[in-house]
Amino acid sequence: MTVIWAQFQPEPCGLRCCASNASIVRVGFRDLSARASAQGASPLGPSWASPRPRSKILTKVVLTLNAGSSSIKFAAFGVADGGPLDLLASGQIEGIGATPKGSISSAAGETTELRFERSLGRMDHQAAMGAILGGLRAKGQDSSVAAVGHRVVHGGPDFVQPMLINGEALAKLRKLIPLAPLHQPHNIAGIEAAMKAFPSTPQVACFDTAFHRSHPFVSDTFALPRSYYDEGVRRYGFHGLSYEYITRKMRSIAPRIAREDVIIAHLGNGASMCAVKNGRSMASTMGFTALDGLPMGTRCGQLDPGVLLYLMAEKKMSADEITDLLYKNSGLKGMSGISQDMRELEASDSPAARDAIAYFVARVRRELGGLAAVVDGAEAIVFTGGIGEHAWKVREAVLSGMEWMGIHIDIEANRASAEIISAKHSPTIVFVIPTDEERMIAEHTVATAGVASAKAASLST
């Protein structure tokens, strides 16, 4: 295992990285970004390179970023003209704003651990971006960044497809912060960090809500006065990048079924389900925010609004306190009192853990029946996400007794997490398909930024 050390400080953001096969370098990102911008170059110029510039660009690279409040997930894809995307590396940095940790893995499985010097202060998204780029370079990605793609949770009612980000677009994204206050600001922080790192490189926003903009009105509205709908109070739905990837994947795995009615269950720390007809979203379990629908790792899922009125009137809880309860201390974690991790709950002999799992399963089954009604029955069910892909006990509990829906489970195939886990005679086919939101972002970025003809910013020029 290779270890990269990173040191950072808040003002200016200094980063120090080294690896066994790389010289030690130090970068002040704020000063360097300003200097690079003035010169029309990448901030990763000579300071990140060997003393002699390299004139040859081996391949173009698309970076994808999924920035949260305390973490950044990322991936790097190689792009050849007319060819498929080639995953070069992926990883995650956690503990932004606190105690950071992270790693990068190559496509071959070699892992580089990032270790951060804590004495120099607090890490922000900009410093995390520097650590990512240093790690990619240390892994020998002597390539050039042609574009950066970003997962943006909320696109509001208007953004129905990926878009290039400029100052005007960024201002519009900031106006959507009230619709996703716990996600959107951090998505924007990741964008701003990438724009500073690559000031002349195209940045593309890919929206988690865009896939669901094909909802019919009845799946998009609440029973409130129409003026609220017109103002943007709607059932947006989320996890759209995952659903879009699965929908595209189904076209290659089972093209006939992909043209029919499919229910996709994205079950993970964040969980939702979606009914799809001929590749278009018809209904989703999530609504105005990412709280609605299924119970999740720490989020409550469906909740009677009267409970909120009770908490405010009787418990005197503030909006911030209710937000903290519903987003961070409910769901599997809140019900079990143990953990938000399904693996830990399945291993526990606690009655509370069993109750949390049982409630999760019951809600998935309930939503499965409801979504089937939306599309008049389903040709296929797809499980994806961390729980959907790996928790065979949960899948078995969800599907047991569902013969009335045409679902007959193959017990052995399910326990082996095979691609098809339904019995051969099952009218409804059940799939287990790993999702790949990063690849979906990369594909959108290539298409939106015109990467095949784009001028790239060198990572090690």
Other C-beta atoms closer than 10 Å to the C-beta of 318 total: 11
For 396, the token pair is 């078995």
Other C-beta atoms closer than 10 Å to the C-beta of 450 total: 12
Q: Taking CA 188 as the corner, what is the angle to CA 182 and CA 193, rounded to the nearest 5 degrees?
A: 130
Q: Which residue has the tokens 């938000």?
A: 340
**Separation CA 422–CA 427 (nearest Å):** 9
Q: Which residue has the tokens 């997490």?
A: 417
**Separation CA 177–CA 252 (nearest Å):** 37
Q: Which runs of consecutive H residues, i.e. helices, occur in 157-216? A: 167-175, 184-197
- Say which residues have a Cβ less than 8 Å from residue 158's Cβ, sequence separation at least 6: none
Short-list 242, 243, 253, 236, CA closest to 279: 243
Q: Is 355 a catalytic residue?
A: no
Short-list 401, 392, 331, 389, CA closest to 363: 331
**Separation CA 73–CA 87 (nearest Å):** 14
Q: Catalytic: which of 31, 142, 208, 324?
A: 208
Active site amino acids: 208
